[in-house]
């Protein structure tokens, strides 16, 4: 590898990616762990971390072939990072061997990758005594690649790069689409923007991007998707609040809640509650589309600060409160709402392509626990809605226990609730890997569930 004083050595990035994998295996999110990574190496470490977590099932299966007894955790993490890179080749993956995933970077030969992985092991006290072991495993993989890869094809976790319980659950919930869901989860998500209707239009913003040679296309009704990800803060109009980053599926929430909804007679504006508002994307979208009195509630004070900063940049205002949506006595003023948005806590099983660590962090028991919380929130918030009002229940999950089953159970137990037209389960779909950037990107979105409930008037 050529020396370049401005280029971070690959061995340092491999060390960082191994640190991220260790953190995820310990139950910590990759986003939180990245904050502990030195800023100079963070972009490369993040890219390698994303790639490793997308290929972790295959990498772990290969490691089991190469060493029946796992090495110490630090060495195992480094070896799995290297194997995740080494097992992806042109035509078999979305990245070239050794190229930094999710971004531009130098090419490395397979042997350079081995050399730098061994160098990473030697430069860390926790792995220095495992350097020769890592070297031997990786060189054997290069020699016996075909046979070793073929042996892993017996294991669904290696084929689909998801835990076995997750594969089984998706297959049960979506028997006709389970393979497409898992495939989409392993794709790279594009950068999608939601244009602030109070500042500009999608057509005008596309012109601003074209002026600086950024290729982008529209996603109806308020979105723009970039052909190649770019640093968000460097895009035109960021500081002026011309856009927010938001997936196309999440952009459906505000229009669904507001469609056909008018302020009641004698009231100048709609009164809306966003019950689990952080990080504030849907809050802002509601304010961009409607003149309303909006209460944005979240249980986490730190995350509420993020909502405040986002609204300030976008030129929007809300009644921002820290509180538990399941305990309205602590924050509600007793006046019922015309509309409620409940973007409920969930497994995040629909946004795995954006957060590849989710599949490895979750446990099978999480689904029932979160479903119980969702049911409690629905039960608690429903009395806060006016007769004739509307509640939008949504989760970024593909599991039916957090979507269709939850909604059907709610309607059965609440005779004053009835379904209004809504999409139901949206399954994750990706065209990010397409060789030709399509004009119609309606199929480019994360996995979500949407149900609109209207409260019957007495």
The pair of three-digit structure tokens given for residue 106, joined into one six-digit string: 């130098």
Residue among 292, 346, 394, 396 flagged as catalytic: 396
The pair of three-digit structure tokens given for residue 75, joined into one six-digit string: 């060495």
Q: What are phi and psi of 425, to 5 degrees?
A: -80, 125
The pair of three-digit structure tokens given for residue 205, joined into one six-digit string: 């913003």
346 catalytic residue (yes or no):
no
The pair of three-digit structure tokens given for residue 250, joined into one six-digit string: 């999440």
Element at 292 (helix H, strand E): strand 292-298
Q: At what angle do helices 10-25 and 73-86 cross, to 10 degrees?
A: 120
d(CA 36, CA 19): 10
Burial class of residue 181, CB neighbours in 10 A (0-12, 13-18, 19+): buried
- 3-state class of 417 per DSSP? strand
Answer yes or no: are the C-beta atoms of 12 and 39 closer than 8 Å.
Answer: no
Calculate Rg over the CA atoms of the chain: 24
The DSSP code sequence of 42-105 is HHHHHHHHHHHHHSHHHHHHHHHHH-SS---HHHHHHHHHHHHHHT--BTTBSS-TTSPTTS--
Nearest CA to 452 among 424, 416, 431, 413?
424
The DSSP code sequence of 189-222 is PPPEEEE-TTT--HHHHHHHHHHTT--EEEETTT
Burial class of residue 356, CB neighbours in 10 A (0-12, 13-18, 19+): buried
Q: Are strands 385-395 and 337-343 parallel, antiparallel or unpaired?
A: parallel
379 DSSP β-pair partners: none
Residues with active-site annotation: 396
């Amino acid at each position: 590898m050529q020396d370049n004083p401005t280029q971070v050595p690959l061995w340092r990035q491999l060390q960082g990616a191994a640190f991220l994998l260790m953190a995820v295996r310990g139950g910590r999110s990759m986003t939180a762990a990245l904050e502990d990574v030195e800023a100079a190496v963070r972009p490369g470490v993040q890219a390698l971390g994303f790639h490793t977590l997308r290929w972790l099932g295959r990498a772990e299966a290969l490691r089991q072939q190469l060493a029946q007894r796992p090495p110490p955790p630090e060495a195992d993490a480094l070896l799995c990072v290297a194997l995740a890179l080494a097992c992806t080749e042109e035509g078999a993956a979305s990245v070239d061997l050794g190229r930094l995933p999710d971004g531009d970077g130098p090419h490395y030969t397979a042997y350079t990758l081995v050399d730098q992985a061994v160098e990473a092991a030697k430069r860390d006290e926790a792995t220095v005594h495992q350097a020769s072991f890592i070297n031997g495993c990786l060189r054997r993989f290069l020699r016996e690649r075909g046979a070793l890869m073929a042996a892993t094809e017996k294991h669904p976790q290696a084929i689909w790069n998801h835990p076995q319980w997750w594969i089984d659950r998706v297959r049960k919930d979506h028997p006709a689409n389970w393979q497409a869901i898992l495939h989409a989860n392993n794709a790279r998500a594009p950068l999608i923007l939601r244009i602030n209707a109070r500042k500009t239009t999608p057509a005008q913003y596309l012109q601003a991007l074209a002026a600086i040679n950024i290729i982008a296309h529209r996603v109806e009704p308020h979105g723009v998707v970039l052909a190649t990800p770019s640093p968000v803060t460097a895009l035109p109009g960021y500081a002026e609040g011309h856009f927010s980053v938001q997936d196309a599926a999440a952009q459906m929430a505000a229009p669904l809640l507001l469609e056909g909804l008018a302020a009641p007679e004698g009231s100048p504006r709609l009164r809306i509650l966003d019950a689990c508002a952080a990080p504030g994307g849907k809050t802002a979208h509601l304010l961009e589309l409607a003149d309303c009195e909006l209460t944005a509630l979240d249980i986490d004070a730190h995350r509420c600060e993020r909502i405040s900063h986002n609204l300030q940049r976008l030129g929007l205002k809300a009644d921002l409160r820290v509180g538990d949506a399941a305990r309205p006595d602590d924050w509600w003023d007793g006046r019922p709402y015309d509309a409620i948005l409940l973007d409920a806590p969930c497994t995040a099983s629909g946004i795995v392509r954006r957060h590849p660590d989710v599949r490895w962090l979750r446990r099978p028991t999480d689904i029932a626990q979160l479903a119980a919380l969702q049911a409690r929130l629905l039960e608690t918030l429903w009395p806060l809605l006016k007769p004739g009002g509307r509640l939008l229940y949504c989760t970024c999950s593909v599991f039916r226990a957090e979507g269709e089953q939850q909604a059907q159970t709610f309607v059965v137990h609440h005779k004053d609730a009835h379904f209004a037209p809504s999409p139901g389960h949206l399954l994750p779909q990706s065209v990010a890997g397409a060789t030709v950037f399509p004009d119609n990107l309606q199929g480019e979105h994360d996995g979500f569930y949407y149900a609109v409930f209207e409260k019957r008037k007495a």
